[in-house]
Structure 1
Amino acid sequence: MNLTSLASAITPLDLRSCLISHRNQLIFEHYRDQHISNEIAKINSCTKSILSALICIAMDQGLLPQPQTRITSFFPQLANDPDPRKQEITLQHLLTMTAGFNWTEFGGQKSFPRMTRSSNWVDFVLEQQLSDSPGTRMEYNSGVSQLLSAILVQVIGMSTARYAELYLFKPLGIESYQWESDPQGIHTGGYGLRLLPSDMLKFGQLYLDHGKWNNGQLISKELITRSVQPSIAVDAPRRGLYAWHWWADSFLDTVNDSGSGGTSFEYFYARGYGGQFIHVIPSLDTVVVLTNDKRKKEQHPGDVFHEYIAPLLVK
């Protein structure tokens, strides 16, 4: 794994940070400015993968029931909804974004901005009509992430952030963070968390190591495996598959150094708007963190991981 050319290649991209660990050793560290290493910043929808971890921890502790549990257990008002299909929605459907709500995150209905302007985000989501039967199609929806955060609060008896502090952040040595909340004080499940790039790397390493950290098992191996197992294909223009608030994809290097054949690997990753990523590549024992804070028109138009980093990882 020769990364000597990576620094010069990505410098013009003006990324906020790029960190790579291999076999639990930091082998590449790049910041636009050195002070960034000590500044927390928005990880946007990578927050969803943090929430997924907290859901797994609550399941391990016996606080949350099995994924096939219907969410009417937590939102009994759904029993009175005109659409009886809403009573079929399960935790699994929320985790895989297959609940079936008629939702367009930013385009079309601009469901996400409308939710954030409402007085009660949970009620807003639950009141949306269904466009699909639960479990049939993945539709990206930060609203269902908010439902998961609200469910977590019901069963743990504390805030989502406090639970994260006790059972995830503190064990990982994550000391600096900020987390936004909705009008009811429920921490945002789909975005709103600010972390250091190095702490994002720790989180990726936890998943690479099957939930183990410093000889302790923070999340059971069984649930780590289940939560990143691809569950459903996504619609274009997105690519890959979706798991429990994690994405899954593969990389194929079509021609190797000898000029024949190719090398491929599968990986799963957390993805946040604007260029925030935590890539976990189990077969290469590698974690890659990318962060960015540039406006869309100032960003590299392609996929930095696929174009610049993945080809070097397989050589």
Structure 2
Amino acid sequence: MNKELTYSTPEEEGVSSEYIINFLNEMEKREAEIHGIMILRNNKVIFEAYNEPYRKEIPHIVHSFTKCFTNTAAGIAYTKGLIKLEDKVLDYFPEYREAANEYLQKLTIRNLLTMRSGQERSIGGNEWRPLKTSWLDAYFKVPFVKEPGSEFMYSSGNSYITSAIVQRITGKTCHQLIEEELAPYIGLEKFSWGESPEGICSGGNGVSITVEGMARLGLLYLNQGKWGEKQLLSADWVNLALGKKDPQPRKAGEKDYNFHWTHTGDIWCSDGMFGQTCAIIPEQNMVIAITTADSNYLETELIQKEILDPMKEERNFAEKMWNVLKNKGLRMSLENKNRSVSNKMVSGNRKIEMEPFENEDRIEKTGLEFLEDKVIFWMKDNRGTHFVEAGLDCWIHGKTSMTGGYLHHQYEMDEMKIAACAYWKSENVLMMEWRYPEMAFFDHVSFEWKEDRVYMKRWVNMNSQALERPVVTAKICES
């Protein structure tokens, strides 16, 4: 298999385009918004589409799919004979041995990978991202209260410790290890990965990568760790990761979870928050990679129902359905979604400056500049001054530093891509939609005029915390 992906059609690879159309329609019907999708069968791409303003070349934050990269880095170390699954974690962190109780002393790498550490509580990425002190200290401060291996409890903290072990044993971050040992052989493009204040890859989250990058990693696991003739991960590791070898004993109701691959029906899925999904289906020799904004996590359920279950039935394929699917993919766009009504607040070019009253978000000043075909919004807060340029009834692509971690699972970036549009919802209410093509999140912002006051409201499509901010009231001080 070459580094360059080969393209085919669904019908040529024994899949009806109708099944994929049904999957896309059902996702849309249930308001699970696809940002990008790539489907492969027999190592060939049979369908690929992106929902404008999300694009093929723009990396997407994949949240906990990052764990698959962390565990793959551990797999490289395992394949090289540098680590064993039964290695004690404290052998790599002797500085924490003195205060360790009997449970922590027994903790192994296998317990980390399978999310069975025995800690008192789970640790999420949104808890640690704002943390400027040692993440290692933060992890080992959480009490160990159960026998390691006895009970499943999902925690990004375990993945961070896995990342730290890989770095201590190889002298390289997980990111460096994958870029050197894996990426050149499987054609993985450059990708970014956040680090802790200690300079260790975050482990549980923080990777931004394209849909194709997700699919390539899925292909590696589908093909038992081989790319072409080169064995990059041992088949033994892949079978352990998928739970085909030494699966973890499960209590009633527990997930079939192994090394961040969850087995459900015909699918082994490695996923991330809000529906970032890489599904491998060995029985059908398929990989399906998807980035989405989906708080209901419908991907695996609908892949099984709309694509895989029908594939088990013998049917005659209608070639014309490929053209229908192809056209549907090309039409995926958020353009023309919003359209203005007439307004009485602004005519022609105009600048409005506003001074907010005391507010929780520490916004000091804000303003709007209306031009013929766009609206520029700016806001000054404790992080600096931020701008968003929004097309009037159309999308404008750009970059922004706009504050928003409180609405975006604590992801706060100095600069990020944005696509924004503005439209008049009513004669005195201006709406903006801010899309971040690198993330599952998108914001709605409304400005409502009442005499000499403007009321600004901001809310997000999904979040692990609050979905909206308190309304900010501002006085128009210059117009």
Structure 1 and Structure 2 fold alike (TM over 0.5): yes
Tell me the residue number matched to 1:15.
34
Aligned partner letter, 1:115? W
- The superposition leaves residues 230-257 of structure 1 with CA deviations (integer Å, 9 ceiling, x where unpaired) of 4243775xx631112221222xxxxxxx
Which of 250, 264, 267 lines up with 1:233 in the alignment?
A: 250
CA RMSD of aligned residues (A): 2.3
Give the conservation status (yes or no) of the 8 Å contact 2:277–2:299.
no
| Aligned-partner Cα distance in 2 for 1:5–1:310 | 8
Q: Which aligned pairs between 1:279-290 and structure 2 lie closer than 5 A?
A: 279-290=279-290
Change beyond 3 A, Cα 1:300–1:67: closer
How far did 1:313 drift? Answer: 3.8
Tell me the residue number matched to 2:167.
153
Change beyond 3 A, Cα 1:86–1:116: same
Tell me the residue number matched to 1:260.
none
| Aligned-partner Cα distance in 1 for 2:57–2:130 | 32
Does residue 249 of structure 1 match 2:264? Answer: yes
Tell me the residue number matched to 2:106.
88
Aligned partner letter, 2:164? A
Does residue 217 of structure 1 match 2:231? Answer: yes
More relative contact order, 1 or 2 (CA 8 Å, 6+ apart) = 1
Aligned partner letter, 2:282? P
Tell me the residue number matched to 2:309.
311
Change beyond 3 A, Cα 1:93–1:220: same
How far did 1:5 drift? Answer: 4.4
- The superposition leaves residues 29-79 of structure 1 with CA deviations (integer Å, 9 ceiling, x where unpaired) of 232138611111111111111111111111111222x10111111111332
Tell me the residue number matched to 2:52.
33
Structure 1 counterpart SS, 2:280: strand
| Aligned-partner Cα distance in 2 for 1:235–1:272 | 23
Aligned partner letter, 2:73? L
Change beyond 3 A, Cα 1:191–1:197: same
Give the conservation status (yes or no) of the 8 Å contact 2:119–2:144.
yes
Structure 2 counterpart SS, 1:154: helix
- The superposition leaves residues 129-156 of structure 1 with CA deviations (integer Å, 9 ceiling, x where unpaired) of 1232111001000001000101111011
How far did 1:284 drift? Answer: 1.2
Tell me the residue number matched to 2:88.
70
| Aligned-partner Cα distance in 1 for 2:307–2:95 | 48
Structure with bigger strand share is 2
Structure with bigger helix share is 1
Give the conservation status (yes or no) of the 8 Å contact 1:227–1:244.
yes
Tell me the residue number matched to 2:80.
61
Which of 79, 86, 90 lines up with 2:97 in the alignment?
A: 79
Give the conservation status (yes or no) of the 8 Å contact 1:149–1:189.
yes
Give the conservation status (yes or no) of the 8 Å contact 1:19–1:28.
yes
Tell me the residue number matched to 2:126.
113
- The superposition leaves residues 151-171 of structure 1 with CA deviations (integer Å, 9 ceiling, x where unpaired) of 111011122211110012222
How far did 1:209 drift? Answer: 0.6
Give the conservation status (yes or no) of the 8 Å contact 1:115–1:125.
no
| Aligned-partner Cα distance in 2 for 1:280–1:92 | 22
Change beyond 3 A, Cα 1:240–1:3: farther
Give the conservation status (yes or no) of the 8 Å contact 1:7–1:30.
no
| Aligned-partner Cα distance in 1 for 2:184–2:258 | 26
| Aligned-partner Cα distance in 2 for 1:301–1:58 | 31
Structure 1 counterpart SS, 2:63: coil
Give the conservation status (yes or no) of the 8 Å contact 1:153–1:160.
yes
| Aligned-partner Cα distance in 2 for 1:233–1:146 | 24
Give the conservation status (yes or no) of the 8 Å contact 2:36–2:54.
no
| Aligned-partner Cα distance in 1 for 2:18–2:90 | 54
Give the conservation status (yes or no) of the 8 Å contact 1:96–1:232.
no
- The superposition leaves residues 171-215 of structure 1 with CA deviations (integer Å, 9 ceiling, x where unpaired) of 211123111111111111101101111111111111111011021
Give the conservation status (yes or no) of the 8 Å contact 1:2–1:312.
no
Change beyond 3 A, Cα 1:14–1:312: farther
Moved more, 137-146 or 6-15: 6-15
| Aligned-partner Cα distance in 2 for 1:23–1:17 | 20
Aligned partner letter, 2:248? S
Change beyond 3 A, Cα 1:302–1:19: closer
Does residue 130 of structure 1 match 2:144? Answer: yes
Tell me the residue number matched to 1:274.
274
| Aligned-partner Cα distance in 2 for 1:302–1:48 | 18
How far did 1:271 drift? Answer: 1.0
Give the conservation status (yes or no) of the 8 Å contact 2:35–2:54.
no
Give the conservation status (yes or no) of the 8 Å contact 1:100–1:130.
yes
Change beyond 3 A, Cα 1:286–1:9: closer
Aligned partner letter, 1:116? R
Give the conservation status (yes or no) of the 8 Å contact 1:19–1:290.
yes
| Aligned-partner Cα distance in 2 for 1:302–1:73 | 38
Structure 2 counterpart SS, 1:194: strand
Give the conservation status (yes or no) of the 8 Å contact 1:78–1:87.
no
- The superposition leaves residues 4-37 of structure 1 with CA deviations (integer Å, 9 ceiling, x where unpaired) of 2423651534311222111111112232138611
The size of the alignment, in residue pairs, is 290
| Aligned-partner Cα distance in 2 for 1:91–1:82 | 16
